[in-house]
Amino acid sequence: MTVPVAPEAADRRGLLTLDELTHRVGLSVRTVRFYTTRGLVPPPLRRGRCGYYTAEHIARLELVQELQSHGFTLAAIERYLAGIPSSATPEDIALHRAMLAPWQVEMPVELTSAELTARSGRALSEDDLETLSALGIVQPVGRGRFRVAVSQLSVGLGLLDLGLPLSAARAAAAVYAAHGRAVAEELHQLFRTAIWPAYKESGASPSRLREVVERLKPLSIAQLVSAYESAMDDAQREGIARRTR
């Protein structure tokens, strides 16, 4: 026997009330309303005097939470979301979340100045900290606090002992940033246009996409390192050949 669905229930099928939304994403009513006034999420859909929320609202709120977990300020989150078109589907937004997740297993550790000194075994000068920051090893996150890639700290200290110029560290950082952004944009385009459509066509959920991206990340890093080593070998051989001609 089929149970009839009330017209008002059918009208809001797949939609959430504000209370249902806050329970789903783990945010307060006040926070959701604040994010709405700042334009981080679109206003609710109106059904008479009631407002309802969709999968897009959920996806955007989860993206905001993901950005916050990575230390983005509210202003930075606004700029990031401004780059996502209003026509973006929940799946498109899920791809942004998947790409934001860390690509390396080891996460940086937040240390105080005293803890960083203890880890380093010596006091670090302002120039030392600037060099380590340019190398991406020590990043200031607030007064007297730093986000530190602990496994790379000894490498950075060794470079300081060898007198690596700050200008060289900054120049290397600029190279990494420029080419890293280009790689990131092309990989994002690849996931968006080639990988996600194939999974979407098969009926896979956004969570399946996230799992696929997570599994591809270590392979992507390995391939990038391999490509870099091969390119460096080629560049060295070409340099030797030019000098011997």
The pLDDT of residue 155 is 92
Q: Are residues 15 and 58 in the same domain?
A: yes
Is position 97 within any domain?
Answer: no
Is position 5 within any domain?
Answer: no
Is position 126 within any domain?
Answer: yes
Measure the CA–CA gap between 133 and 169, rounded to whole angstroms: 9
Measure the CA–CA gap between 244 and 222, rounded to whole angstroms: 33
Segment 207-228 shows an average pLDDT of: 76
Is position 58 within any domain?
Answer: yes
User: What are the percentages of helix, strand and coil residues in the chain, rounded to 5?
Assistant: 65, 10, 25
The pLDDT of residue 106 is 63
Q: Are residues 162 and 84 in the same domain?
A: no
Q: 72 is in which domain, residue-wise?
A: 11-88
The pLDDT of residue 186 is 83
The pLDDT of residue 53 is 94
Is position 38 within any domain?
Answer: yes
Mean of the per-residue pLDDT values of the chain = 83
Q: Are residues 15 and 122 in the same domain?
A: no
Q: Are residues 157 and 239 in the same domain?
A: yes
Nearest to 21 by CA among 47, 60, 67, 75: 60
The model's pTM is: 0.53
Measure the CA–CA gap between 66 and 68, rounded to whole angstroms: 5
3-class DSSP state of 110: strand
Q: Are residues 206 and 124 in the same domain?
A: yes
CB 124 within 8 A of CB 130: no
Which has the minimum average pLDDT: 22-26, 104-108, 164-168, 230-234?
Answer: 104-108
Count how many domains the chain has. Answer: 2
Measure the CA–CA gap between 160 and 148, rounded to whole angstroms: 16
CB 103 within 8 A of CB 215: no
Residue 5: band (very low, low, confident or very high) from pLDDT cuts 50, 70, 90: very low
pLDDT beyond 90 at 190: no
